[in-house]
Amino acid sequence: MKGTKTYPKGGVHPPDSKSRSEHKALKNALIPQILTVPLAQHLGKPAEIAVQVGDEVREGTLLGKSSGFISAPVHSPVPGKVKEIRDVYLGNGLKSPAVIIEMEGEFDRSGKEQERHDWRGLSGEELLQLISESGIVGLGGATFPTHVKFSIPKGKKAELFVVNGVECEPYLTIDHRLMLEKTDELLEGVEIIQKIIQPERIAVGIEENKPDAIEVMEKRISERGMNIEVVPLELKYPQGDEKLLIKAITGQEVPSGGLPIDIGAVVSNAGTVYSIYEAVVFRKPLIERFVTVSGGAIKDPSNLKVRIGTSIGDLIEECGGFSEVPEKIVVGGPMTGTAVYDLDTPVIKGTSGVLALTSKEVKSSRRTACLSCGRCIEACPMGLNPTILFKLVDHLKYDESLDNGLMDCRECGSCGFVCPARIPLVQGFKLGKRMARKKKG
């Protein structure tokens, strides 16, 4: 595709593996009888429990209150009864208290005509409050509370708003389907955001492997008379990283340790924009999200709208089960997701995919010593030296690893993807960051 943009340094080209699900229309997943709803589903402080065992809940009842500025409330995805409150393990390996709900009773929303609320008369502050109360967080995987991102600090201004429709992780196809099937809803979501942060310029970044989405978005933007630029981007991983996306679109760099707003930019993933539309237009809290279920070991890959708290085992079963014994089950995409071993792992707000990968799809050669080949350095889009960083973290030299840019690592997995020695570089960097933060206090 002519005129595509990208960031200048590094990046890799994993096979995109989207062909088995990219043509599958979005559909509602079956709702299970038992749902496990964790309270730590977002970046920041976990929600504070707001129910007790035995309580009856409705679809959308508050289960957990926001417990600070960087926090988000959690709502019941179904009507039913609180059966139990206990700790569970999440797809990212962390532990969280969770509310176990047994579904019973009538749904207030599902299967019923939804009342549309006219939001155009509301102020930016009132819209922001609705987003905050609805528990909206970044659905691209970062799970940063959206009301915090949209609270522009004093002295700063949102000059550019970017809808992130890149979806550069292999296998994942939900944002692609959203842009094709929910175009108007997404664009109304953008209008809501426009009213809150009042950017001077709005862009939608889409990778060139989704020409149909580029076409549909351009057509509807022009028909609605909106001033939004669709920016086709070169197919290169991790194009969807927000700092690299801004670099590709504007040529500007977010400073080391800084945030996009430091250079006047705000980025939200397409799925997040859709949830904002639902929260504001239908006053619907974030109780479900879209998930791609795919991988070579899944019989019938699909793009499903899933209630938070549904187990990944239920989703796999709904997609026909396994066609062969998977080598690895991953929650999220294959580059940044986490391997899980328990099919009871619940879908949470940050779960973009559930992948069952065959041995052919998983590189499983044994780890060896570093070959000093330099491939990881070439692949790093942030210009870091992953081999040196890993050695520093491995030798517990956290201060030195910080001096070498550890905090600038985007945890994109490009270095690990090209490493012939199969060194678990990203896992090392994630651990290193946690330890460095702990040391700092």
Site residues (vs ligand SF4, CB under 6 A): 370-376, 379-380, 382, 384, 386-387, 409-415, 418-421, 423, 425-426, 429
Q: C-beta of 364: minimal distance to ligand SF4 in Å?
A: 16
From start to end of 263-378, where are the E strands?
265-269, 288-294, 302-307, 328-331, 338-340, 353-357
* Cα separation, 319 vs 293, whole angstroms: 7
Which pair of structure tokens corresponds to residue 71?
A: 């926090």
Q: Tokens 């926090």 label which residue?
A: 71
52 vs 365 by CB, closer to ligand SF4: 365
Phi-psi category of 153—alpha, beta or left, where left has phi over 0 and alpha has psi -120 to 50? beta
Q: Which residue number, 261 or 382, has a Cβ lying nearer to ligand SF4?
A: 382
Q: How far is the CB of 403 from ligand SF4 (least distance, A)?
A: 15
Query: Minimum distance between the CB of residue 368 and ligand SF4, rounded to whole angstroms?
Result: 8
Instruction: Compute the residue count for the chain.
Output: 441
* Residue nearer to ligand SF4 on the CB measure, 103 or 415: 415
CB of residue 416 vs ligand SF4: minimum separation in angstroms? 7
- To ligand SF4, the closest distance from the beta carbon of 78 in angstroms equals 38
* DSSP 8-state class, residue 281: H
Alpha helices in 57-182 (DSSP H): 124-133, 146-149, 174-181
Rounded Cα gap, residues 223 and 246, in angstroms: 26
Contact call for residues 302 and 28 (beta carbons, < 8 A): no
State the minimum distance, in angstroms, from the CB of residue 377 to ligand SF4.
Answer: 7
Task: Provide the minimum distance between the beta carbon of 241 and ligand SF4 in the complex, in angstroms, as a whole number.
Answer: 8
Nearer to ligand SF4 (CB atom), residue 141 or residue 285: 141
Q: Tokens standing for 325? A: 């014994």
**Distance of closest approach, residue 281 Cβ to ligand SF4, in angstroms:** 37
Phi, psi dihedral angles at 403 (to 5 degrees): -60, -25
Pairing state between β 56-57 and 95-103: unpaired
Among residues 325 and 369, whose Cβ is nearest to ligand SF4?
369
Between CA 429 and CA 289 the distance in angstroms is 29
Rounded to 10 degrees, the C-alpha dihedral 267/271/272/276 comes to 130
Query: How many C-beta atoms lie closer than 10 Å to residue 255's C-beta?
Result: 11
- Cα Rg of the chain, angstroms: 21
